[in-house]
Amino acid sequence: MTTLKEVAQRANVSTATVSKVLSNTPYVSEETRLRVLQAVDELGYIPNLAARALSKGRTYIIAVIFPYNYDHLFADPLVLTMIEGIESVCTERHYNMLISTPRIPVSESEQYQRLVRSGYLDGVIAFETMPDKPVTEMLAGFGYPWVAIGYYSVTGRNNVLHPDDFAGAKAVATHLIGLGHRQFGIIGVEANSLTAAERRMAGYRSAFEEAGLPFEAIPQVVGNFSIESGYQAAEALLSLTPRSTALLCLNDRMAMGAIQRAHSLGLHVPADLSVAGFDDIPGAQFFNPPITTVRQPAREMGVKAAHMLFDLMEAQKQPQRHYHQSFAPVVFPTELIVRQSTDQPRT
């Protein structure tokens, strides 16, 4: 492998001059610059970009860590919208964004461990989905500035941000109860699989308990957040007697699947069946019918997470600053969005 010294010898300059040319440092004559670049080309020299970046104290790389759980992040419009917000801030700050999708548990992920140990990151935004397996544990151990999108982190509740899943779920359940529905079905996910899902289920429960309705008696079928799983779960729920007049779905994609299954059975939504989702992904308002859901400000959350991270990165440069404990939890309000997929039950 060609070395920097060999390039310098070929161009008849010092190694310092070669470094200046490769880093576009001014005060190098055009003649010298061309001679160095010609030597680089002739020798096939590949500069060690990582070492050069680290020597300057920063790499201009921000990592977004998304642990693989139910499905890949590229299938989830909500997560993509959050990442869009993160990317917009990174671009404003002239930073690049690196996305990593280690498999759960991340403590056993070779790709994740290799990335963290590389030192080639200026900061990290981690999606914390499971409180007992924090992604941020290794980040804190290696001294990275980090922010977690989720309910918990290795420090407990510091440096985290999340939507108010409980209030949003309670609002949508209260909406359906207020319409007069009493025969419900719930399309959820496996118990203890995601903290956000647990909070949404707790919100449903609170709404039913305040209305004096038995929550434990409501039939529930497990999905995996996909449209396909919503379709299959709805098939199971709609085969029960008495048939549900309203379905609460833990996200919009499962609500979409449930509506498609209802249509295939000859049921009209919302005349025969009301269906409500959660998240307000971009396609929810254009579905047939448009879906009643709970909006969480996904892009704004991504923007906020990125701004928090850059603040922490700045704090890290200041001696004796505990940058990993700088922020209290940030909770984003959710909003009930009533559309045409819910209505009063037929009498």
Percentage helix, strand, coil, to 5, in the chain? 45, 15, 40
171 and 269 assigned to the same domain: yes
**Domain total in the chain:** 3
Asked whether residue 274 is domain-assigned, the answer is: yes
Q: How far apart are CA 307 and CA 288, in angstroms?
A: 37
Q: Is residue 150 part of a domain?
A: yes
Tell me the residue type at 169: A
**Whether residue 208 sits in one domain with residue 144:** no
What distance, in Å, lies between the first and last C-alpha atoms of the chain? 80
Other CB atoms within 10 Å distance of the CB of residue 47: 14
* Structural domain span for residue 20: 4-47
pLDDT value for 323? 47
- List, as one string, the DSSP characters of 318-340: STT--GGG----EEE--EEE--T
Helix (H, G, I), strand (E, B) or coil at 264: helix
Helices (H), 65-211: 77-92, 110-118, 136-141, 165-178, 195-210
Assess whether 205 and 85 both reside in one domain: no
37/22 same-domain check: yes
Are 158 and 306 in a shared domain? Answer: yes
Q: Residue 97 pairs with which residues in a beta bridge? A: 62
**181 and 218 Cβ atoms separated by less than 8 Å:** no
Say whether both 34 and 133 belong to one domain.
no
Report the 10 Å Cβ neighbour count for 216. Answer: 7
Same domain assignment for residues 140 and 38: no
Structural domain contains residue 264: yes
pLDDT of 69 reads 67
pLDDT of residue 92: 96
**Whole-number pLDDT of residue 56:** 60
Distance CA 100, CA 98 (A): 7
Amino acid code (one letter) for 205: R
Half-sphere exposure of 124 (CA within 13 A, CB side): 28
| Whether 342 contacts 176, CB under 8 Å | yes
340 within domain boundaries: no
Shared domain check, 68 and 159: yes
Residues 79, 145, single domain; the answer is yes
3-state secondary structure of 233: helix
Query: Does an H or E element contain 26, and which?
Result: none
In a domain, 339, yes or no: no
CB 253 within 8 A of CB 227: yes
Pick from 171, 169, 175, 127: nearest CA to 152:
127
For 106-143, b/e burial (b = at least 16 CB within 10 A) is: beebeebeebbeeebbbbbbbbbbbeeebbbebbbeee
Q: How many helices (H) and strands (E) does the chain have?
A: 12, 12
Q: Do 169 and 159 fall within a single domain? A: no
From the first residue on, what is the mean pLDDT of each consecutive set of 10 residues in the chain (347 residues)?
Answer: 86 89 78 90 74 67 85 82 96 94 82 84 89 80 90 83 97 98 96 85 98 97 95 97 97 98 98 98 96 97 96 77 66 98 92
| CATH value at residue 28 | 1.10.260.40
The CATH number for 98's domain is 3.40.50.2300
Q: Does 222 reside within a domain?
A: yes
What residues are paired with 248 via a beta bridge? Answer: 186, 276
Q: Is residue 56 part of a domain?
A: no
Note whether 272 and 178 are same-domain residues. Answer: yes
Answer for the pair 226, 200: CB distance below 8 angstroms, yes or no.
Answer: no
| 54 domain-assigned | no
Q: Are residues 187 and 281 in the same domain?
A: yes
